Chains A and B, each alone.
Chain A
Amino acid sequence: MELTDIAIKSIYAIVVVSVLMGFCSYAVLAERKISSWIQGRVGPNRTTLPIIGSIPYVGRFLTRLGVFQPAADGLKFLFKEDVTPAHVNKLYFTLAPVLSLVPALTTVVVVPFGYFENAAGEVVNLVLADLNVAILFLFAISSLGVYGVVLAGWASNSKYPFLGGIRASAQMISYELAMGISVLPVFMWLNAPGTDGTLSLVDVVNAQGGALWNAMWMPGSFLIFVVCIFAETNRLPFDMAESETELVSGFHTEYSSFKFGLFFVGEYAHMLVGSAVVAVLFLGGWHPLPFMTWADFGVHGWLAGVLSVGTMIGKLCGFMFFFMWIRWTLPRFRYDQVMRIGWQMLLPLSIANLIVYTFVIYFLERP
């Protein structure tokens, strides 16, 4: 690989990370606006910028919408005092937020988010690294996020963070099992006879083009995967890591300033990647409709690129909305219920689901 190639890849990576960070900050705003909408409140509507905010109508509208709020939040994170209490283990205390952000930002490499056709008519997929072990890579890296949580809880040397950290780690590893088993039918069907084995996410999307989306004929896998995504990202109703009504704010009780901010950004980045993976695996990725691709609509060239990325972002935003909707709809499970759902319900269910599709594919494929 030449140096120019590496430079180009680095530029792509910087673009993707900046877009992801932008999405994260606006996801926080969306969360606040949606929660206020669900609870019949107004939400953030005061923060404004000097010049843009004073444009008649538009500025007022944007201020009401809270568009400038993320900038204010970011600056506040930056300028607040970064307290490191004396009783913590300083090295791990500082390392923990980094460890929770890095896996979330790294998993995005294998997530495809569109395609375009170049001048020669070849299809170029928009993905940072089209690995043929993508789903394994995804599980491997995203499960490293548990270290951030458990280290934060342990290094804080304080009771609430410790409880939050240890609960969250047990929960996250438990739901990983059901999640891993629930996606197997998708890849079982993907690897048609006579092809090289692949676990690539790009191939999953391409296989869903002009065919049924996986969610439609594998509803069991889809449901189990979605529930596990909620548990993996520590979102309500599975937010054992924080459970702010019991543990103050769980594993990051002792954190302040941007160290807390990194956990926050990490959580939202994890949610965004999770939503993208659900869209890719089960909801047809960048294909607009089941049985239809953009090429069937006569869309080619750069327009296909814009529309495919747009479709993908639309599905992602829809799923993010679903995340937030659930958060303000369901109450939190008790801890023993969380573990029971994980081990005694989802795990047997996912194995049963796998066996069902083993037989279904056997009868479909039998010569």
Chain B
Amino acid sequence: MTVTDFVPVLIQIALAAGLAGAILTGSVLFGQRGSKNKIKNYAYECGIKSDGKTSTRFSVKFYVTAMLFILFDIEVLFLIPWVLVYRDFVANSLPILGPILFFLGVLVVGLFYELKKGALEWEK
């Protein structure tokens, strides 16, 4: 596994971005052009004139979800190196079951705490 193994990834990203760019350019070049008018520029609200501010406030729950996601996602990442060596350790009678159960226990306690706190309760 060397750095050159990642070259196809770069090629693919360049290709995908190029394709998307070409399609958007083509759409601008070949697309019909109608006259601009005020009605067309309104934010779409089912044909009625847009009412109130367009950027509304939104629930703090979304922030909480995002923060909790980061915590748990990092914990999932920590599990991946363990997964790679688990069978090897068990076969060689190295202690791994206890420590990992402790780690998962901490994760579960954290999740349980969040649930009990109602951090993940959404209004019905």
Q: List A residues at the B interface (Cβ < 8 Å).
A: 1, 6, 9-10, 12-14, 17, 77-83, 85-87, 94, 97-98, 101-102, 105-106, 108-109, 128-132, 136-137, 156-160, 162-163, 166, 169-170, 173-174, 176-177, 180-181, 184, 187-189, 191-195, 197-199, 248, 253-254, 257-259, 261-262, 334-336, 339-340, 343-344, 347-348, 351, 354-355, 358-359, 361-362, 365-367
Contacts and interface: CB of A to CB of B under 8 A. Distances in A.
B20 A98 contact: yes
B72 A354 contact: no
Contacts of B23: 258, 261-262
Given A6-B11, A157-B43, A180-B76, A365 B27 contact: no
A135 to B, nearest CB: 9
Contact of A173 (B19, B45, B65, B97): B65
Nearest to A176: B73
Contacts of B100: 358
B122 A351 contact: no
A318 B1 CA distance: 34
Contacts of B6: 129, 131
B54 A157 contact: yes
A191 B88 contact: yes
A123 B7 CA distance: 22
Interface of B: 1, 4-9, 11-13, 15-17, 19-21, 23-24, 26-28, 30-34, 40-46, 50, 54-56, 58, 61-62, 65-66, 68-69, 72-73, 76, 79-81, 83-88, 90-93, 97, 100-101, 104, 107-108, 111, 114-115, 120, 122-124
A138 to B, nearest CB: 11
Nearest to B119: A343
A78 B76 CA distance: 43
A81 B23 CA distance: 14
B1 A132 contact: yes
Nearest to A110: B9
Which 10 pairs, one residue from A and one from B, show the smallest C-beta to C-beta distance?
A197-B84, A258-B27, A336-B122, A158-B43, A105-B16, A193-B91, A86-B41, A129-B8, A98-B20, A180-B76
B34 to A, nearest CB: 5
A81 B33 contact: yes
B15 A177 contact: no
A13 B101 contact: no
B104 A106 contact: no
Contacts of B58: 162-163, 166
A163 B13 CA distance: 30
